[in-house]
Amino acid sequence: MRLGVGIFGMQSVPQRPDHHVKLYRDVLEDAELAEELGFDSIWLSEHHFWFDGYCPADLPVAGAILGRTTRLGVGTAVMLLPMHPVQKVADDATTLSRLGEGRLSLGVALGYRDAEFDGFGVQRKDRGKLMDGMLPRLAESCRAAAPPVPLYVGVASAIAAQRAARLGLPLFADSTMNPQELREMLAAYNAAAAAAGVSSPHAHALQRDVFVTDDRERDWAMLLPELRYMRRQYGGWSFPQEPDETVPSYLGRLESDIEAKLKNLIMGDGAHVTARLREFEELGFDLIVCRSQFGNLPRESLHRAFEGLSRVRGDLAHWPGARRAPLT
Amino acid sequence: MAGRAQGASHMKLGLGPIDLKGATRSRLESLGAQAVASSFDAVWVSESRAEGVGGGLASAAMLGQAVPIRVGAAVDAGLYHPLHLAEDIAIADLTSQGRVEVLLRFATTGASRYREPDQHGWFEEFLGVMAAALSGAHFQWNGEHLRVPARLSANQPAPERLALNPRAAQPAVPIWVEAPGESLEALARDLGFGIAAHFKPGAAVPARTGRWPGMVLCRANADPNDLLAAAGESAGYFLIAAETRQEAASAGKRLAGPMRMPDFPEWIGHE
């Protein structure tokens, strides 16, 4: 199993504001550390027009990381494809894959925030239709690139998984899905691939919130405000207020959702995290992108988590029982 | 030398743009290293989207990690939404800690891979929206081709204005425009962008716009006397399109001294 680290958006969050010049310098240093620690890859994500300056353009950052490193893979987790001109993405990725000697991967997904679609003159309700048109074109370009660009489809639902299945593209499963939801989604994926007569990829990628710690109490106190910020800001966009819902009722519902999603965090010492990650390998995920960066964590905390995760990576690599179950 | 007594004290020299078609990391880094060794102010790359070669700004961001000097990207403008280009510029600039420069070429061929054939006024609106976005201010644009934010009824109500966030590292990213017509050139000047042109014997360097000198794209074997004559009393930014390390080294040796230092002694280092 391969372990990637992320997910970097270079946000300047209210609880720890930093100048973006520093944040972009930091992510390049973090990439160097990730390479030194032996991780497979580092992953970036995007949002547009938000007050915390969430990175809106991952490929220039990917280019800088590819220039700073020599072995580490770099991926998008995820690019919000319906907001982008697909020909631009394809042409940019082809060039970067060549310059990066095959180290670029693309994860793409629908996006969900109306204001971002609106900025680019796209109707949010068209995103599925747009994705249906864009994905085959992008997949073809990614296959034709030299070296080819691995393309993953970001999913948080069976419908999105079925879209990927019809094209034979591997999944990049969202961090909010629990093991049961993942099993059901993989079953839907396999059924759709079979119905379309498409051979399924052997394995998929999964995003998980993971924090390796030797002091759970200390790090939980540090992490909780960051996790709540992340879920309230970006999670809240996908959790809109219903038309007839009062604000207090909506906020109560949002907080309940946040509490539920926080339970998906894998947090503990190396042995605990190793055991939990093995469960996902058994499901059919051969790349797990571990999100240990939440917003803008203190540098020493993030690096401690990276170092702990690198020991997990070693344990997983040497696990004699490592095998892959069929995707059923 | 004929041009030495003229106002040549603010000349800038860039190496490139290096064509990204078929380029490898080692070629970019090798030419970048030579640009540094030969005292160029910047090293540039060039995309060509009509041929399917994109990623100019991402490649400049990559090259920026290999060299300490400024990095430039010659990019094809007007092919897609200008907010995407503004975002790419801002982020590439941040990754290089404020060392990015940009040359916008408005593609009149090959655009069909991206969008419908050119419509009157589209390039002007493209430039206007890109400039507004790069300013970092909250803005609204209501044009014939572009409406930003679009405020589409099918979307949930969006803010009346939007802002590019984060902003570039530099207060103003140096941007030059190679305009296909006079009206676009005039607009580019109004917006504070520099003007770029290909070298032609006897033609003057485009006039300075605000902070930016006119840019001239030259061949590797350019003669410093010709370039100084083109600059006349003004400054100029000369991009020297050397293809190999040897060409870059030779161009640097011939041009860097005479172009930057009007009183450069003739007996030093001439080939």
Report, as an integer, the average pLDDT of A56-62: 98
B65 touches chain A (CB under 8 A): yes
Tell me what pLDDT residue B117 has: 62
The residue-averaged pLDDT of B124-145 equals 97
The answer to whether the Cβ–Cβ distance between B55 and A28 falls below 8 Å is: no
Q: In the prediction, which pLDDT does B264 show?
A: 66
Distance between CA atoms of residues A82 and A130, nearest Å: 6
Does residue A325 surpass a pLDDT of 50?
no
Here the tokens at position A222 are 């540090």
Return residues 207-246 of A near B (CB < 8 Å): 240
Q: Is the pLDDT of residue B8 over 60?
A: no
Angle CA A41–A43–A47, to nearest 5: 170
Q: Which residues contact B110 (CB under 8 A, 6 or more apart)?
A: B49, B50, B51, B76
A-B contacts at Cβ under 8 angstroms: 185
Chain A: residue nearest B138 by CA? A49
CB contact under 8 A, A91 and B166: no
Report the DSSP pairing between strands B141-142 and B147-148. Answer: antiparallel
Q: Is the pLDDT of residue A326 over 50?
A: no
A318: Cα separation from own chain's centroid:
25
CA angle B7, B31, B54 (to 5 degrees): 100
Mean pLDDT of B137-145: 97
- Choosing among B30, B144, B155, B162, which should be mutated to test the A contact, i.e. which has the most A CBs within 10 A? B155
Confidence of residue B6 (pLDDT cuts 50, 70, 90): very low
Please write the tens of the pLDDT for every residue from A115-161.
999 999 999 999 999 999 999 999 999 999 999 999 999 999 898 99
CA distance A292 to A3: 12
Contacts of residue B264, Cβ cutoff 8 Å, sequence gap at least 6: B4, B257, B258
Q: Average model confidence (pLDDT) for chain A?
A: 93
C-alpha dihedral over A233, A237, A239, A245, to 10 degrees? 100
Least confident residue range of B51-65, B109-123, B146-160: B109-123
Q: Residues A291-323: pLDDT tens digits?
A: 999 999 999 999 999 999 999 998 888 765 544
- In the predicted model, what is the mean pLDDT of residues B104-117? 77
Interface of A with B in 96-135 (CB under 8 A): 96, 98-101, 114-115, 117-126
Domain ranges of chain B: 11-260
What residues of A are in contact with residue B166 (Cβ under 8 Å)?
Answer: 10, 12, 20, 53, 55
What distances in angstroms separate CA A184 from CA A162, A180, B85, one per listed residue? 12, 6, 40
Question: Is the model more confident about A231 or about B105?
Answer: B105
More confident position, A62 or B114 = A62
Shortest Cα distance, chain A CAs vs residue B224, angstroms: 33
B105: which strand partners?
B76, B178
Residue of B nearest to A124 (CA): B155
Task: State the CB neighbour count (10 A cutoff) for residue B233.
Answer: 8
Comparing B113 with A252, the larger pLDDT belongs to A252
pLDDT above 80 (res A167): yes
Per-residue tokens: B256: 């860097």
ipTM passes above 0.90? yes
Residues 169-188, chain B, touching A (beta carbon < 8 A):
169
pLDDT in tens, A76-123: 999 999 999 999 999 999 999 999 999 999 999 999 999 999 999 999
Q: What is the mean pLDDT of residues B55-68?
A: 98
Rounded-to-integer distance, Cα A97 and Cα A69, Å: 14
pTM attached to this predicted model:
0.95
Cross-chain Cβ contact B166/A115 below 8 Å: no
Tell me, what's the pLDDT at B34? 97
pLDDT digits (tens, 9 = 90+) for A207-253: 999 999 999 999 999 999 998 888 888 877 777 788 889 989 988 88
Nearest residue, CB atoms, A119 vs list B94, B98, B162: B162
Select the residue of B24, B64, B158 nearest A67 (Cβ to Cβ): B64
Answer whether CATH 3.20.20.30 is correct for domain B11-260: yes
B142 touches chain A (CB under 8 A): no
Using CA atoms of A4, A9, A13, A19 in order, give the dihedral in degrees to the nearest 10. Answer: 110
> Which of B58, B97, B167 comes nearest A60 by C-beta?
B58
Q: pLDDT, tens digit, for every residue of A16-41?
A: 999 999 999 999 999 999 999 999 99
A21/B169 CB distance under 8 A: yes
Q: Tens digits of per-residue pLDDT, B203-227?
A: 999 999 988 999 999 999 999 889 9
Average pLDDT, chain B: 91
Rounded to whole angstroms, the Cα distance separating B105 from B50 reads 12
Question: Hey, are the CB atoms on B83 and A62 less than 8 Å from each other?
Answer: no
User: Which of A23, A90, A95 is nearest residue B59 as measured by Cβ atoms?
Assistant: A95
